[in-house]
Structure 1
Amino acid sequence: MPNQPTTREQDFRFARYATVTVAVAIAAVISIVLGCMFGFKAYGRYQARQDVQNYVKTSQVRANNQVKLNEIEIGQQQQRVKIEQQKAEIRKQNAIGIREAQDIINKTLTPLYVQHEMVDQLGEIAKSGKNSSVIYIPVGPDGLPVVATAGAKR
C-alpha cells in the first residue's frame, strides 16, 4: 500500500488546503471591504457629478420657463394697452359726435323755440295732475315763462 497516503499526509494536505482556503477567503473579504470603501467614494463622486448635472438642467428649464412666462405677460400687457387705446378712441368719437350734435342744435335753437317747448312741457305737467305745485306764469320780464313752486319766497 505504498500509493495510499498516510494519515499524517492526509492531515498535512487538509491543513494546507484549509490554510489556502482561509487565506483566499480573508483576501476576498479584504478586497470586498476595500472595494466597498473605494467604491462608495467613487459612487459618491459619480452621484455628486449627476447631482450637479441635474441642478444645471433644472436651472436651465426654470430659466426657459421664466422667459416664456415673461413673454406671455408682455403679450398680455400689450393687449391690455391696445384695448385701453381702443376704449379711448371710442370715447373720443362719442365726444366728437356729441359736440357736432350740440353745434347743430345751437345753430337751429332760437329763444322762441325754447319758450314754445317750455310752455308745452308745463302744459303736459298741468294735464297729468301728478304735480299740482307748479305755478305757471305765461310771460316773465325776459319774455320767457316763469316757474315757481308753491311756498317759495317772493
Structure 2
Amino acid sequence: MKTKFTKTLIFVSALAATDIAGAQDSDQPVMVEIRRLSMDTALTIAKTAIDACREQGVQVSVTVVDRGGHPQVVLRDVLAMDLSLEVSYRKAYTAMTFASTTSSLEDRFTGPFSVGKLEKVLLSAGGVPIQASGETVGGVGVSGAPSGETDENCALAGVAAVEMDLEMASF
C-alpha cells in the first residue's frame, strides 16, 4: 500500500513539474509592465473638473481612481456635501471597472441580483473612464451637482484637460 502511494505521489509530482516547465516555455513574460497615472496628471483631472463645475455655480467632490480602483486624488469643494465624497468615489470606480461612462450604464443592470447591486458600483451619471491609447488607466467621478449630467460634463472636462498628454504618452 505504501509503495502504491509513493508511486502515485512521484507520478503526480512529475506531472506537475512538466506543467510548470511548459508554462515557462510559453510566450508569457516573466514581468508585466503596468502604466499608471502620475499624481500630477490625476490632480489636473480633478482640479479641472472642480473648476468646470464652479463655472456653472456648483461645488462638488471629485475622485480620481487608478487602474486598480484605488483613490489617487480626492478633492471636495468648500460647500460640497460630505456624502458627495463617497458618491464620487463609487462613480469613478464604476467608470474604471466597466471602461464606460456611468450614464451609459444606468439602465444596464436592472435585475435584483445584478452587478449593479455590488457595494462599490454606482450606476449614476458622473463617472468617466480615463483611457490612454485604448487602455483604461483609471476613472474620475464627480458628485454634488443638481444633476448627473452636470457631474458628467465636469468629469469629461477633467479628462479632456489631459487627453492629449495621455495619447502622446509612449505605451
Alignment TM-score > 0.5, same fold? no
Higher RCO (C-alpha 8 Å, min separation 6): 2
- Please classify the TM superposition score into its range, dividing by the shorter chain length: under 0.3
- Bigger radius of gyration: 1
TM-score (norm 1): 0.22
Identify, as 1 or 2, the structure richer in helix. Answer: 1
TM-score (norm 2): 0.20
Identify, as 1 or 2, the structure richer in strand. Answer: 2
